[in-house]
Structure 1
Amino acid sequence: MTLPDAAAQALQAFEHAPGWEQRARLLMQWGERLAPMSEAEKRDEHRVHGCESQVWLSAEHFDGCWHFKAYSDARLIRGLLALLLVRVEGLSAVEVEALDLPAWFTDLGLARQLSPSRSNGMNAVLKRMREYLADIR
């Protein structure tokens, strides 16, 4: 599966970050790219349960492709969300279903630094994405 352009850019940036400090800084920078969600978008139906931080996720489906929007009150989580969103942006339902989230974060060099609660949170976001997919079918 080929990577969306933004995901390929993220992968290249993280591959050139030699250590955790540089990756953490990059993670924060990617998090700043997330568009904030309005208070109207931060309603309970968009809330992702299973995350220690507050996380919201919305989805749109058009022309056979999925487009997600996410936000969190936690800086590191915003970075992880941004990296997840660039990985799934514009994918079909089949491609989103096939996404190996642990492999993506391993490729970025972030898997070892993900605490179990952050890893569980990202899995909860991916699960919620897949629920959106099921709602359309």
Structure 2
Amino acid sequence: MQPFGNTITDTEVRNLFAAAHGWEARYRELIKLAKQLPALDDADKIEANAIHGCESQAWLVSEQNTNGLWQLHCDSDARIVKGLMAVVLAALNNKTAAHIQAFDMEAYFAELQLLSHLSPSRGNGLRAVVAAIKQSCQ
């Protein structure tokens, strides 16, 4: 499975969102990112990989490679959630546990102007994705 983080970085996401004027343009970018995020195999969409706290169904599979970098794979049955996962993975995938734990997600989301346009439950779901990643990479 090709790690998503090898194809797009948080810097590229920042540039995409900086060029997207208005929420509708950012929403379109999220949908495009969702389409780039590889789907998990059905065999990985099990309770043990479920991310709890999302309204939608969401899953996380993580593994540490021989270099100590975490390979993160997420999927969701909702396009917008999958796009939000892509934004998170761009920042955290293929990084060390120390980098993942130290990365300031709230500042990243603020810079991208995401949270102010999400419903409270969707914002909580996004934070649940981040929490699940940080927990799995301890």
TM-score between the two structures when normalised by the length of structure 2? 0.89
User: Helix, strand or coil: the match of 1:40?
Assistant: helix
Q: 2:21 aligns with which of 13, 18, 21?
A: 18
Tell me how far apart the structure 2 counterparts of residues 130 and 105 of structure 1 sit (CA, whole Å): 16
For 2:11, the equivalent position in structure 1 comes to 8
Quote the offset at 1:100 in angstroms. 1.9
Q: Does 1:55 align with 2:58?
A: yes
1:1-137 aligned within 5 A? 6-62=9-65, 63-134=67-138
AA in 2 matched with 1:87:
A
User: Helix, strand or coil: the match of 2:137?
Assistant: helix
Contact 1:105 1:111 in 2 (8 A): yes
Which stretch of structure 1 is more off in the superposition, 121-130 or 74-83?
Answer: 121-130
Aligned-residue identity in percent: 35
Tell me how far apart the structure 2 counterparts of residues 84 and 90 of structure 1 sit (CA, whole Å): 12
AA in 2 matched with 1:31:
A
Deviations 1:74-132, CA, capped at 9 Å, x for gaps:
11101000000011011111111112222111111212112211111111111111221
Tell me how far apart the structure 2 counterparts of residues 82 and 99 of structure 1 sit (CA, whole Å): 16
Quote the offset at 1:55 in angstroms. 0.3
Contact 1:36 1:71 in 2 (8 A): yes
Aligned residues: 131
AA in 2 matched with 1:17:
A
Regions of 4+ moved over 4 Å: none
TM-score between the two structures when normalised by the length of structure 1? 0.90
User: Helix, strand or coil: the match of 2:63?
Assistant: strand
